[in-house]
Amino acid sequence: MSRQPSAAERLDRAVDGVLDGQSVPVAAAAAGLDPTVRVLLGMAADLRASLHVPLASPHFEARLGTRLAPTASRDALGWALRHPRRLIVTGAVGSAVGVGVTAYAVWRSSRRAPGAHRLLHR
């Protein structure tokens, strides 16, 4: 038993179709949209036509692709086992920041004007 996609899901599919290069009527028909919603698809098509492709070298794109590609070595436990010193330093810095923020909060609360604590208990 499959459920019918919501109007937002159908619109999302149609916008994806327009951004992939389909015409507005084809994308709307494929997604099963009402004619009243096709105005939004027209805006998506106009936006796609007005955006420029950024200039990037093939070397940059290749490096970016390798950094964004999912790899098995990105798990946190494997990273921690390979870099135990970095993990210790990261924990120490995090703890130092926490202690610093706590000390600042205590210092700020102890420097309140005399009589301010009386107003809080009313």
Q: Write down the pLDDT at residue 97.
A: 86
**Would the pTM count as exceeding 0.75?**
no
Rounded Cα gap, residues 36 and 19, in angstroms: 19
| Short-list 24, 58, 69, CA closest to 44 | 24
Rounded Cα gap, residues 40 and 26, in angstroms: 14
Residues 33, 41 contacting (CB under 8 angstroms): yes
Q: Write down the pLDDT at residue 62.
A: 85
Rounded Cα gap, residues 76 and 11, in angstroms: 37
For residue 65, the surrounding DSSP H or E stretch is helix 58-68
Cβ neighbour number for residue 80 with a 10 Å cutoff: 13
Comparing 116 with 2, which gets the higher pLDDT? 2
pLDDT band at 81; cut points 50, 70, 90: confident
Rounded Cα gap, residues 14 and 121, in angstroms: 58
